[in-house]
């Protein structure tokens, strides 16, 4: 890591407090966006446990689904879903900014790239739903 | 620190891949497995779920679905902690976060192996 | 008829006297066509000649009058009093920088970083002047033009919490300018800038808060420059792993 900054005498060096993200709405939204990763990871761990119970037989699987019916778990999943959707929306919006797409010599406007990402998300979601819920 | 300098792109690529997987796939799975099935809006029988998850291609899919977003979490959580002022502990925080994601990857492989 | 007034709460700091900055209130006339800089000039001319701050062009080109106005980094020559009525208006030195006196901050750190990214056209071999200019098509100009609008006003550094927490971070404007020259069809300096950008305190330090692009008075998008540099750096890294024998650009 880099050496700590040498402070010159006479100058005032401001310190950014750990609560900086409460200072403006954009900073706060940034923190929510980053925090979404925690809820997504927690859900995936719960889902992994569900798959593990699946391999242990119908009884274990049914018992686990019964556990997930508890109000606490439902609230957790509702909150996690809200964060997951927030992650998707912010991610696809920023994809347009990060990923430069060119058609010939022209750069495709970032909004169009973001729009295409949202369209892809919709298609993938519908296909997945159909696959999971048919039959 | 030379190691940090060279390993950064590697973790960032995993973060980016995980973020994309999470954005595209997680909401639907959360809705189905976290809410729709437990609440009885729909049901996926044990036999059908087992048959699905047992397919090699689906296993590969599930591996990507679960493991990659763990690195997305590790990367972001690492920087959340640093942004909250724990910059003095950068190296241990990085090791703990990415280490947890690696452990999660191993656990995912193990669970999928058992199905 | 009594004249309308507005109150400015201005940060004062006297080096050698004050341990930390304090706030002083001034009442200035309210004029619809006045900007915060006009109000500061009024204070210096009529009320307190010791007030120190930087300014020059008064038209958003020189980039020297950046300050925090009600907590947001602004060019004070473009911040109209009428947008802050009824006041008071808080005027502070740019955040995240060491304060020299009153509203004047130390520029050394930014200047050093700016030099480090070599923000000029680098050629492997310069062609002689007699061979004429380096030509560029409108599309080649478009590729980097947005990033060339930077006036080095440092508002983006004041908006960046990462820079506030880690002063070694290369920061938005320096990376955006490095990116601007990397994109320039006339430039051949990518490999000279790449080591500076790919340091841990280079592009990888950024967490994409995105506020740098929000506060930029010139419509530059430093956040995009940084993320695209990450993508380019990561792609380079991946290619060098898959094909170690292939030369990097």
CB within 8 Å: A2 and C168: yes
Output B7 or C59, whichever has higher pLDDT: C59
Mutate to test the interface with A, among B34, B61, B77, B111 (most CBs of A within 10 A): B34
Separation in Å, CA of B10 to nearest CA in chain A:
18
Please check the confidence at residue A135 and state whether its pLDDT lies above 80.
Answer: no
Q: How far is B90 from chain C (nearest CA, A)?
A: 12
Given a cut of 90, is residue A44 above it in pLDDT? Answer: yes
Q: At what angle are helices A71-98 and A110-133 packed, to 10 degrees?
A: 140
- Residue A37 in contact with partner chain C when CB distance is under 8 A: no
Check pLDDT > 50 for residue C185. yes
Residue B39 contacts residue A69 (beta carbons within 8 Å)? yes
| Residues C66, C154 contacting (CB under 8 angstroms) | yes
Confidence (pLDDT) at B2: 39
Q: Where in chain C is the domain with CATH 1.10.1060.10?
A: 108-242
Does residue B3 surpass a pLDDT of 50?
Answer: no
pLDDT value of position A100: 85
Which pLDDT belongs to residue B5?
Answer: 53
Q: Which part of chain C is CATH 3.10.20.30?
A: 5-105
- Min mean pLDDT across C136-140, C197-201, C220-224 is at C197-201
E-strand stretches of C5-134: 5-12, 22-29, 66-69, 72-75, 89-92, 99-101, 104-105
Looking at residue C166, its pLDDT comes to: 92
From chain A, pick out residues whose CB is under 8 angstroms from the CB of C137. Answer: 105
- pLDDT, position B4: 44
Contact C165 B85 (CB under 8 A): yes
Chains contacting chain C through 3 or more C-beta pairs under 8 A? A, B
In C78-89, which positions are buried (b, 16+ CB within 10 angstroms) versus exposed (e)? ebebeebeebeb
Element (H, E) at A107: strand A106-107
CA distances to A44, A54, B40, C182 from B47, in Å? 22, 9, 17, 57
Angle between helices B2-29 and A25-55 (to 10 degrees): 70
Asked if A1 reaches chain B (Cβ–Cβ under 8 Å), the answer is: yes
Q: How far apart are CA A40 and CA B28, in angstroms?
A: 12
**Mean pLDDT score, A102-119:** 87
Q: For residues B111 and A48, is the Cβ–Cβ distance under 8 A?
A: yes
> What are the CB-based long-range contacts (under 8 Å, 24+) for C202-206?
C202/C170, C202/C175, C203/C170, C203/C175, C203/C229, C203/C230, C203/C233, C204/B8, C204/B9, C204/B12, C204/C230, C205/C162, C205/C166, C205/C169, C205/C170, C206/C162, C206/C169, C206/C175, C206/C230
pLDDT of res. C240: 84
pLDDT of residue A3: 58
Q: Which residues of A touch B33 (CB under 8 A)?
A: 47, 50
How far is it, in rounded angstroms, from Cα C109 to Cα C58? 25
Q: Is the pLDDT of residue A36 over 60?
A: yes
Length of chain B: 115
Distance, C-alpha A47 to centroid of its chain: 16
Contact of A27 with chain C, judged by CB distance below 8 Å, is answered with yes
Cα gap B84→B95, rounded to integer Å: 17
Nearest to B13 by CA among C240, C215, A65: C240
Probe site for chain C from B2, B5, B8 (most C CB atoms < 10 A): B8
Q: Is C207 on the interface with A (CB under 8 A)?
A: yes
Give the model's confidence band at C248: pLDDT under 50 very low, under 70 low, under 90 confident, else very high: low
Query: At residue C85, does pLDDT exceed 50?
Result: yes
pLDDT surpassing 80 at residue A105: no
Residues of C (102-141) whose Cβ lies below 8 Å from A: 106, 109, 137, 139
Average pLDDT for C207-234: 95
Percent of chain A with pLDDT over 70: 96
Question: In this structure, what are the phi and psi dihedrals at residue A107, rounded to the nearest 5 degrees?
Answer: -90, 130
- Flag whether pLDDT at B109 surpasses 90: yes
pLDDT of residue B88: 82
CA distance C25 to C28: 10
Interchain CB distance below 8 Å, B26 and A44: yes
User: How far is CA C63 from each of CA A14, C149, C155, C162, rounded to the nearest angstrom?
Assistant: 22, 11, 9, 22
pLDDT surpassing 80 at residue B21 = yes
Which CATH number describes the domain made up of B2-25+54-114? 1.20.1300.10
pLDDT-derived band at A7 (thresholds 50, 70, 90) equals: confident
The answer to whether residues A27 and C161 touch, using CB atoms and an 8 Å cutoff, is: yes
Contact A121 B23 (CB under 8 A): yes
Class of domain C5-105: alpha beta
Which parts of C78-218 fold into alpha helices (H)?
Answer: 108-116, 138-145, 155-159, 161-165, 172-183, 190-197, 211-215
A76 contacts in B (CB within 8 Å)?
34
Residue C158: count other Cβ atoms within 10 Å of its Cβ: 25
Scanning C154-173 for CB atoms below 8 A from B yields 161-162, 165-166
pLDDT over 70 at B1, yes or no: no
**Looking at the complex, does the CB of residue A122 fall below 8 Å from at least one CB of chain B?**
no
The answer to whether the Cβ–Cβ distance between B65 and A68 falls below 8 Å is no
Residues 79-118 of A with CB under 8 A from B: 80-81, 84-85, 87-88, 91-92
C159/C248 Cα distance (integer angstroms): 34
Assess whether pLDDT exceeds 80 at residue C195. yes
Query: What is the fold of C108-242?
Result: Fumarate Reductase Iron-sulfur Protein; Chain B, domain 2 (1.10.1060)
Q: Which CATH architecture group holds A25-128?
A: Up-down Bundle (1.20)
Average pLDDT of the residues in A4-23? 88
C-alpha A76/C-alpha B87 separation (Å) is: 31
pLDDT digits (tens, 9 = 90+) for C108-133: 999 999 999 999 999 999 889 999 99
Nearest-angstrom CA–CA distance, B53 and C226? 40
Mean pLDDT of chain B: 92
Q: Give Cβ neighbours of residue C57 (< 8 Å, ≥ 6 apart).
A: C64, C77
pLDDT at A1: 45
Q: Which chain C residue shows the shortest CA-CA distance from A102?
A: C143
Q: What does the pLDDT look like over C124-180, one tens digit per residue?
A: 998 899 999 999 999 999 999 999 999 999 999 999 999 999 999 999 999 999 999
Spell out the domain ranges in chain B.
2-25+54-114
The ipTM, to two decimals, is 0.92
Q: Is A4 exposed, middle or buried (0-12, 13-18, 19+ CB in 10 A)?
A: exposed
Whether A15 shows a pLDDT value over 70: the answer reads yes
Angle between helices C172-183 and C190-197 (to 10 degrees): 160
Instruction: Give every CB contact of residue C173 below 8 A, 6+ residues apart in sequence.
Output: C110, C114, C150, C152, C154, C156, C157, C212, C220, C222
How far is B104 from B57, CA to CA, in rounded Å? 20
C230 touches chain B (CB under 8 A): yes
Q: Crossing angle for the helix pair B46-54 and B56-83, nearest 10 degrees?
A: 90
């Amino acid at each position: 890591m880099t050496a700590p900054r040498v402070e010159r005498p006479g100058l005032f060096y401001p310190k950014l407090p750990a609560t900086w993200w409460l200072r403006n709405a954009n900073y706060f939204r940034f923190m929510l966006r980053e925090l979404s990763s925690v809820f997504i990871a927690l859900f995936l761990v719960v889902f992994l446990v569900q798959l593990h119970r699946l391999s242990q037989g119908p009884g274990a699987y049914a018992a686990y689904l019964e556990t997930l019916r508890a109000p606490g778990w439902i609230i957790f999943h509702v909150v996690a879903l809200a964060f997951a959707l927030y992650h998707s929306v912010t991610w696809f919006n920023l994809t347009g900014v990060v990923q430069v797409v060119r058609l010939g010599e022209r750069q495709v406007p970032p909004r169009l790239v973001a729009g295409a990402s949202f369209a892809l998300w919709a298609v993938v979601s519908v296909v997945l739903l159909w696959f999971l819920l048919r039959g | 620190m030379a190691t940090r300098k060279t390993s950064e792109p590697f973790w960032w690529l995993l973060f980016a891949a995980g973020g994309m997987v999470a954005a595209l796939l997680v909401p639907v799975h959360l809705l189905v497995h976290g809410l729709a099935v437990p609440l009885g809006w729909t049901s996926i029988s044990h036999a059908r779920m087992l048959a699905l998850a047992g397919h090699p291609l689906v296993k590969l899919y599930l591996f990507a679905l679960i493991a990659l977003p763990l690195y997305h979490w590790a990367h972001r959580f690492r920087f959340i902690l640093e942004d909250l002022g724990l910059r003095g502990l950068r190296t241990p925080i990085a090791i703990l976060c990415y280490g947890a994601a690696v452990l999660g990857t191993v656990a995912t492989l193990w669970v999928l192996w058992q199905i | 008829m009594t004249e309308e007034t507005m109150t400015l709460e201005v940060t004062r700091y006297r080096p050698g006297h004050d341990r930390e900055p304090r706030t002083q209130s001034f009442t200035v006339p309210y004029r619809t066509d006045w900007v915060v800089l006009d109000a500061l000039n009024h204070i210096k001319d009529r009320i307190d000649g010791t007030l120190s701050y930087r300014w020059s062009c008064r038209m958003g080109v020189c980039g020297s009058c950046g300050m925090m106005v009600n907590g947001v980094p602004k060019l004070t020559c473009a911040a109209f009093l009428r947008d802050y009525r009824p006041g008071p208006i808080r005027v502070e030195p740019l955040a995240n920088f060491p304060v020299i006196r009153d509203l004047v901050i130390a520029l050394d750190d930014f200047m050093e970083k700016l030099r480090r990214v070599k923000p000029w056209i680098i050629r492997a071999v310069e062609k002689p002047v007699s061979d004429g200019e380096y030509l560029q098509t409108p599309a080649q100009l478009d590729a980097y033009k947005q990033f060339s609008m930077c006036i080095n006003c440092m508002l983006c550094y004041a908006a960046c919490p990462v820079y506030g927490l880690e002063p070694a971070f290369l920061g938005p404007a320096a990376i955006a300018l490095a990116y601007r020259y990397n994109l320039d069809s006339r430039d051949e300096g990518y490999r000279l800038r790449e080591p500076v950008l790919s340091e841990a305190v280079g592009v990888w330090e950024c967490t994409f808060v995105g506020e740098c692009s929000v506060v930029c008075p010139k419509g530059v998008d430093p956040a995009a420059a940084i993320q695209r540099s990450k993508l380019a750096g990561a792609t380079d890294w991946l290619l060098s792993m898959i094909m170690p024998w292939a030369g990097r650009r």
